[in-house]
Amino acid sequence: MNKKQPNINVGAAILFIIFGLLFFVLLFRFISIQVTGEAGGQALAAKAKQLYEGQNVIEAKRGTIYDRNGEVIAEDASSYTLVAVLSDKMTTDEEHPRHVVDPEKTAKELAAFIDMEESEIYKRLTVGGDPFQVEFGNAGRNLSIQTKKEIEDLKLPGIIFQQDTNRFYPNGVFASHLIGYVDKAKNKDGKVVTQGMMGLEKSLNELLTGTNGSFAFESDLWGYLLPNGEEVIKPAQNGNDVYLTIDKKIQIFLEDAMSKVDEEYNPEQMIAIVADPKTGDILGMSQRPTFHPKTKEGIDQTWRNLAIEDSFEPGSTMKIFTLAAAIEEGVFQPNAQFESGTYKVTEKSPVVRDHNGGKGWGTISYLEGIQRSSNVAIAKMVKEQLGYETFREYLTEFGFDRLTGIDLPNETNGKIVYDWPLEKATTGFGQGTAITPIQQIQAATAVAHDGKMKKPHVIKEIVNPDNEEIVQKTETEITGEPISKDTAKEVRDILETVVSSENGTGFNRYNIEGYEVAGKTGTAQIPKNGGGYLTGHSNYVFSFLGMAPADDPELIVYVAVQQPDIDASTNGAQPVAEIFNPVMKNSLSYLNIEPTDYAKLQVNETPNVSGMSVETAKQKLEEKGLKPIVIGDGKKVVEQVPGDTFNMMEGERVVIKTDGKLSVPDLTGWSLRDVMKFVKISNLKLNTVGNGYVVEQNLSPGSNLSDGDYLIVDLQPAHRESELDGEELTPEGEEDKENKEVTD
């Protein structure tokens, strides 16, 4: 027993030393924490604050894109993703299940609300492997709040929704390559964010993207707010709103016309631009192929905005600017004669031929040469009248060798081929040299408005929505003055005869009733791989660059259609006219630009009939040759559209509103202009389909009217026999079998 005692004492001593060391380590650690306030390199006060402080992110809204009138083009909107919970572990009360208990019934009910077959939904709801929940792919994403509510009303067990923010494009296919689209992408921090992927959504992404805010609060261990806890709110900074120069109505006119031509003629591609020559504002821009910014359908066909990212030989629309240069230099002699048909720039160069196979029209004046789009006339003007060096200077003055600087991404420059005499001559009629459609629009503003060339732009202003402060505002910018006001007027007068004269290549195609149109047709050859040009009746880029009213243009419209599917009896200008004519006419009417057919205009002002009895008002208007339309069953007129300062055409409708109950008239046969009068006086919201005259309306005639109702009208062109029936025209640029190098 005594022998064991020393061993026990040694063991006790060792334990005492170990525990003593532990005590001193803990004591040192305790004192160190008290002194420094840190543990493990982290501040304990901050960690404690984190424990008792909650924080929520306040998401910033991406900026909204509007048209020039404040109509939404792209905006953030709440969307919902459909989710089905399959795990029975979520159910704690069998009378109130939280998982899908009847897959067959659930699949049948959901199939009525999402774009997925009932059998496919059932397959997802009965998938093996014991998943917790499943989703339904694209069919179950981006659901509207209305669809969400309708599904919730079914009270299907296990069906829940996840909320998200989605970019909403209410107009569908609408200047899609200009606007662009957004998608989810990872940023540098690895977070999934909304990112602009094309067009303005991409180029303005930084301005459109806001900065998230936060809401911090003190809470207990269980996350409940403390009664006297401190709250800190850091507001979100929403993205800037962008107002475009695009006009929704004009863009819709454009999209409708483009879609109809695309369906009928199936061209390789099409481009169309509508611009205000006095400001440089782009009011409409469209192309085919295009895509839907929400579904992305069609985006694989082309990623480029063809109006600014593609350059090509313009064809005879280039003759506008050659003519302008000759007039400005004082060398254009409209009545001077020349021999049309063929022309050799040099003894060794290929022959320049007129577009009718080089036959020409005998000895004609230079004015007739412009009307007939004679290549020979232009080649002689460049070489013999202007001179190569002077003409080259005008190409620079009109901006064909530099970017326009339009506020859209990826603008490309044209390429002026100007080395040999033949190249210099053919550039005058748009062959060999390549330019972009937007360069043609910019140059045309000088012809349309007093010789002053305007920089094109699509952004009107950028506004901070939180404080209404204007971040950026675009002003009209004159980029040059290549010609004088008098020259511009003379060019327009001559171009008007291209449309109105029987000799003109635009005759009976681009005439618009009530308005004088000045413009120039174009038929450009398409280069092929290995040199030379494509041949065949439809292998051209058919185009028209026109402005109206010719005396003082308010609009410029450029249309180009490449390789439409047409037979030998159809002129390539036909699909171009089917875009240009309705777009120009509807846009002029929409902008309340008075027709120049003054024979039908009343000299006096429209009488003011407000306050009169309905019968007296009708009599007054009818005496002036106007057609009164009475809205309401009252006895007294309280409002009229148009007002008493608006010149009217004989037989035009004046809508008068009475003090009685309002009802919907029969709009059949009404023009869009008249429909808009009714919409204005009735405080309705208007959607249109097509162009022309009303053939169908969603609000039944005689039904009651309420402010803010939507009126949808289907418009179709008036049916009449074509003035061209039986007429056979040779298109500009028709294949020259003897010499394919030079045509119109």
- CB environment 350-378: b (16+ within 10 A), e (fewer): ebbbbbbbbebbeebebbbbbbbbbbbbb
Report the length, in residues, of the chain: 744
- In one letter, which amino acid is 277? P
Residue 498 is inside which H or E element, if any? helix 485-500
| Interatomic CA distance for residues 443 and 64, integer angstroms | 32
Strands of 7-119 (E only): list them.
Answer: 38-39, 42-43, 53-58, 65-66, 72-85
Determine how β-strand 627-631 pairs with β-strand 637-641.
unpaired
| Interatomic CA distance for residues 543 and 562, integer angstroms | 9
State the angle between helix axes of 103-110 and 118-125 in degrees (0 to 180), rounded to the nearest 10.
140
525 DSSP assignment: E
For residues 317 and 339, the answer to whether their CB atoms sit within 8 Å is no
- The encoded tokens of residue 75 equal 């905006």
For residues 526 and 562, the answer to whether their CB atoms sit within 8 Å is yes
Determine how β-strand 363-365 pairs with β-strand 337-339.
antiparallel
- In one letter, which amino acid is 502? E
| Interatomic CA distance for residues 103 and 82, integer angstroms | 15
Sheet holding 213-218, edge to edge: 53-58, 213-218, 231-234
The phi and psi torsions of 637 (rounded to 5 degrees) equal -85, 130
- Concatenated DSSP letters of 693-735: EEEEESSPTT-B--TT-EEEEEEEPPP---TTTT---PPTT--
Q: Is 690 helix (H, G, I), strand (E, B) or coil?
A: strand
CB atoms within 10 A of CB 139: 18
For residues 440 and 314, the answer to whether their CB atoms sit within 8 Å is yes
| Interatomic CA distance for residues 627 and 631, integer angstroms | 13
- In one letter, which amino acid is 689? V
Q: Which residues are catalytic?
A: 316
Residue among 554, 592, 584, 588 at smallest CA distance from 680: 592
| Interatomic CA distance for residues 190 and 192, integer angstroms | 7
384 DSSP assignment: I
- In one letter, which amino acid is 269? Q
| Interatomic CA distance for residues 629 and 356, integer angstroms | 52
Greatest CA span in the chain, whole angstroms?
145
Strands of 563-633 (E only): list them.
Answer: 627-631
| Interatomic CA distance for residues 323 and 374, integer angstroms | 12
| Interatomic CA distance for residues 177 and 290, integer angstroms | 7
Query: Tokens 């313009």 correspond to what residue?
Result: 314
State the angle between helix axes of 319-328 and 485-500 in degrees (0 to 180), rounded to the nearest 10.
140
672 DSSP assignment: H
| Interatomic CA distance for residues 375 and 658, integer angstroms | 61
| Interatomic CA distance for residues 286 and 296, integer angstroms | 16
